[in-house]
């Protein structure tokens, strides 16, 4: 039960109790937890305190509210390795997840400006943008920049539902040798938010990806915008996975 003499706030104590019940299997993923009215009655607290407890677990991603239905234990999110050199789409396929893509901006040669982090800043690069869907929900938006000399005529290739790494290997006989990624959390401009079906104030995972090849460093650069409410995007430690 709750301890009114403890320095730990009552709502935090209740959140810990609910979390313990979830972890020991009393509340299984996908099941509904007691209502705030029931929690306040069972634990002798006010409904605002019960609401604070469930709010805390919602923010932590443990619970999810469904309008008109109640509050449920969030089902375990599927995980995709974001740093495999086999490519992002290949990462979904490796997990047995069906994914489809839609081209937002067809591949074209552009002059890159306004982004000093982009290795092609101040020069030309091939650019395309595409969004990936799982179960009809948009989960990943990619802005991709490619070296104009290394990937000559790549604008003639259709990227719909195709892995970039597969195209590079099959058409240019190249495989990546390394790379790096920078991670941050941010919000999208309105246009990109609409593509991912989120509001402009919804935080998303933003990844800046640099891919190297044996003769050219940073031959591919991508900005990835990931919906973490749909998937856990992970990174395997211990080196690159050359597949």
Q: Where are the domains of the chain?
A: 10-73, 78-234
Does an H or E element contain 191, and which?
Answer: helix 190-195
CA–CA gap between residue 90 and residue 93 (Å, rounded):
5
Strand 137-146 to 124-134 pairing: antiparallel
Crossing angle of helices 10-23 and 36-43, in 10° steps, is: 110
pLDDT value of residue 211: 92
Does domain 78-234 sit in CATH 3.40.50.1360?
A: no
CA–CA gap between residue 210 and residue 214 (Å, rounded):
14
In terms of phi and psi (left: phi > 0; alpha: psi -120 to 50; beta: otherwise), the region of 96 is left
Does an H or E element contain 91, and which?
Answer: helix 88-94
Listed as own residue / partner, the contacts of 60-68 with beta carbons closer than 8 Å and 24 or more positions apart are 62/19, 62/22, 63/18, 63/33
pLDDT value of residue 218: 94
Q: Is the dihedral of CA 233, 87, 121, 197 positive or negative?
A: negative
What topology is assigned to 10-73 in CATH? Answer: Arc Repressor Mutant, subunit A (1.10.10)
8 Å CB contact between 148 and 125: yes
CA–CA gap between residue 59 and residue 15 (Å, rounded):
11
pLDDT value of residue 78: 58
| Mean pLDDT per 10-residue interval, the chain, length 243 residues | 87 92 88 93 93 89 87 72 56 72 95 92 96 88 95 93 85 88 91 92 90 92 86 54 39
- Within a 13 Å sphere around the CA of 36, how many CA atoms are in the beta-carbon half? 15
């Amino acid at each position: 039960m709750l301890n009114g003499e403890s320095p730990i706030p009552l709502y935090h104590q209740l959140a810990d109790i609910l979390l313990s019940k979830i972890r020991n299997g009393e509340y299984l993923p996908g099941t509904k937890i007691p209502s705030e009215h029931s929690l306040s009655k069972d634990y002798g607290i006010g409904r605002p305190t019960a609401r604070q407890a469930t709010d805390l677990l919602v923010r932590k991603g443990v619970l999810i509210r469904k309008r008109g239905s109640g509050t449920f234990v969030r089902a375990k999110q599927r995980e995709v390795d974001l740093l495999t050199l086999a490519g992002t789409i290949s990462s979904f396929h490796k997990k047995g997840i069906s994914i489809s893509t839609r081209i937002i901006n067809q591949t074209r040669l552009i002059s890159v400006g306004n982004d000093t982090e982009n290795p092609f800043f101040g020069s030309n690069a091939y650019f395309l943008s595409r969004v990936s869907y799982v179960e009809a929900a948009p989960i990943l938006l990619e802005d991709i920049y490619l070296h104009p000399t290394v990937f000559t005529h790549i604008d003639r290739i259709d990227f719909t539902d195709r892995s970039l790494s597969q195209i590079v290997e099959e058409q240019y006989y190249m495989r990546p040798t390394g790379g790096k990624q920078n991670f941050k959390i941010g919000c999208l401009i309105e246009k990109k938010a609409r593509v991912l079906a989120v509001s402009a104030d919804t935080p998303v995972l933003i990844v800046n990806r640099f891919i190297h090849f044996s003769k050219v460093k940073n031959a591919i650069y991508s900005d990835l915008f990931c919906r973490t409410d749909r998937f856990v995007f992970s990174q395997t430690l211990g080196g690159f996975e050359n597949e």
